Structure formats: C-alpha cells, structure tokens
Amino acid sequence: MKLIGVGVLVLVSWTARAIETNDGGLAYWAFLYYHPKQAWTEAPLFNRPLEFYLKSKIKSKRNFCLIVHPCVHLGPVEEWPQTAAFFANLFKEKTYQKVAGNRPLISIVEWVEK
C-alpha cells in the first residue's frame, strides 16, 4: 500500500468520528473536493469525508462548504457541466454554508510548486 493510502484511511477514520461526535466547536466543515477522474487513482478516496458528512445523522448541527483548486480538482473540461451540476445540487443542501445575501460559500485555492 502506498503511504498516501494510509494517510487517506487515517483522515477518513478521524473525519467520520469528528462528524459523528460533533466535537471541535467549528462553525462549518470545509471539504476539499477532488474530481473522481483525477490523474491519480486515490483521488476519489479524498471525497469520503464529504460523503460521510452528507450521510451523517447529525449533519444538521453543522454546515459545510467546498474548497476547490480550479486547475486540478474540477476534472476534465468535457465534464465541467456535470461537475457544475453536482456543485449546484450541493449548494441546495439545507446545511450548505451561505454568506453575503444567502450565496453559497466556495473557497478557491491555488498553489504553485517550485
């Protein structure tokens, strides 16, 4: 198993427990989104915390939002309409974090490797 796989299992396990116990005093969860057709096979595993949250019995106790990297995590250009529809459906969730006149909060991150 690759080291990244171990990291993913730890992250998923910790996140599932944190969501269920509602610990931490956070105002909302911010989940980094990875398109399932990323260049690396483990990418879909990183969406598991979001999946756990959406299925949680206590999700109504804490809102959520997405973090995306526009050049990497949105998937193939030809699938952007489906990705946008997926995001739009998430924005309709009662617990999706809203700001500035009830608009969905989405954080855009950019990093450059040197």
Count of beta carbons in the 10 Å neighbourhood of residue 67: 14
Q: How many distinct structural domains can be found in the chain?
A: 1
CA distance 61 to 26: 10
| Full strand arrangement of the beta sheet holding 106-108 | 28-32, 63-68, 106-108
In a domain, 73, yes or no: yes
What does DSSP say about strands 103-104 and 98-99: parallel, antiparallel, or unpaired? antiparallel
In a domain, 114, yes or no: no
Question: Which range, of 5-9, 13-17, 90-94, averages the lowest pLDDT?
Answer: 5-9
Does 110 have pLDDT greater than 80?
no
Residue 32 has what pLDDT?
Answer: 86
Of the candidates 19, 105, 106, the one whose C-alpha atom is nearest the C-alpha of residue 62 is: 19
Using an 8 Å Cβ cutoff, are 82 and 70 in contact? no
* Tens digit of each residue's pLDDT (9 = 90 or more) over 54-100: 988 878 888 999 998 876 677 888 888 998 999 999 999 999 999 99
The whole domain housing 18 covers: 3-108
